[in-house]
Amino acid sequence: MNQNTQKLHKILAQSGLGSLRDMEALIAQGEVRVNGQVATTGTRISETDVVTIERRKVRLNFSETAPRVLLYHKPEGEIVSRDDPEGRASVFDVLPRVRGAKWISVGRLDFNTSGLLVFTTSGDLANHLMHPRFEVEREYAVRVVGELSEQQMQEACREILLEDGPARFERIRDNGGEGTNHWYQVTLKEGRNREVRRLFEALHLMVGRLIRVRYGIIDLPPRLKRGQFMELDPTQVKRVLEWAGMEALPVSQRDVLARRERSRAGAGAVKPRGARAGAARPARKSPLRHPARTEAAPAGQAGRSSRRSTKT
């Protein structure tokens, strides 16, 4: 066997075409061809091979370089998809273009949910951050009409049976509120469809507003307004890779030049939906928290709060 060959699905993901799981599924569906022949799971390729997806030749990246990571403050009213039959606004309409790759969304937020969305050009990194076996924490601020009892908060952290299986919060904190509106801070280690909303519905409370404020060690930066994006610098990307248990890779010269060009041009802001859409100014404080803080309830603030907090 040629020792210079590599697994097809890995190279496709490394080239920014999707996560490892997405590429494996695409190959299994028979959509990928190598030198005109339908590829199968386990197919290996070299730099001399021609790969097509849906009969279109794809540009492959065989040299591993540091991925790019982008943070976006998603407003309500946008979908996390490139293809929508209803023609609704998409988060991908706002993101800066990336040459030779594409932005892969790390998880999704539904149409009526706002907050932190993480994008990367690495299918491998996206897989590490999304796959259930890695148990990456997601943290949300939730506004509901009504209030949970102490018993309900404890129940939510044990187990609630939903239609697609049992689910629970890792932690829940009562952040108080006024009138009929009440805020809670909740943390989960998975990202099933509408899971936070369905858990509250099972407790007989309707969610009025849902905001994701953290994904793993990445916080939603306070200065990142709705509709704005910011890209992590190489040092921050290195920290994310190390935290995810991945090898820190060198930054490609192309990406260095692209970052400089965006900096000169105001970070390439795109403003299709009002003045606030586009690139944010660089944050004064890093959006990455110390890894140990992700294990504390929540955001390491439990010891400074007199409000109710429940965790497993």
Reference 5, options 52, 56, 60, 55; nearest CA is: 60
Catalytic residue among 84, 110, 164, 233: 110
Considering the domain architecture, whether residues 165 and 44 belong to the same structural domain is answered as no
DSSP class of 307: S
84 is catalytic: no
Please name the residues in contact with 27: beta carbons below 8 A apart, sequence gap of 6 or more. Answer: 8, 9, 39, 40, 41, 43
Please name the residues in contact with 111: beta carbons below 8 A apart, sequence gap of 6 or more. Answer: 76, 77, 78, 79, 88
Domain count, the chain: 3
pTM of structure: 0.74
Per the domain annotation, does 251 fall within a domain? yes
Domain that includes residue 157, residue range:
137-215+295-311
Neighbours of 143 (CB within 10 A): 15
Q: Is 127 helix (H, G, I), strand (E, B) or coil?
A: helix
> How many CA atoms, within 13 angstroms, populate the side-chain half-sphere of residue 98?
22
In whole angstroms, give the CA distance from residue 218 to residue 71.
9
Considering the domain architecture, whether residues 144 and 211 belong to the same structural domain is answered as yes
Considering the domain architecture, whether residues 240 and 256 belong to the same structural domain is answered as yes
pLDDT tens for the 312 residues of the chain, in order = 455 888 999 888 878 787 788 889 999 999 999 999 999 988 999 989 999 998 889 888 777 677 899 999 999 999 999 888 898 999 999 999 887 778 999 989 999 999 999 999 988 899 889 888 888 999 999 999 999 999 999 999 998 999 999 999 999 999 998 877 899 999 999 888 999 999 999 999 999 999 999 999 999 999 999 999 999 998 999 999 999 888 776 655 455 555 555 444 334 333 333 334 566 555 556 888 866 555 433 333 333 333 566 766
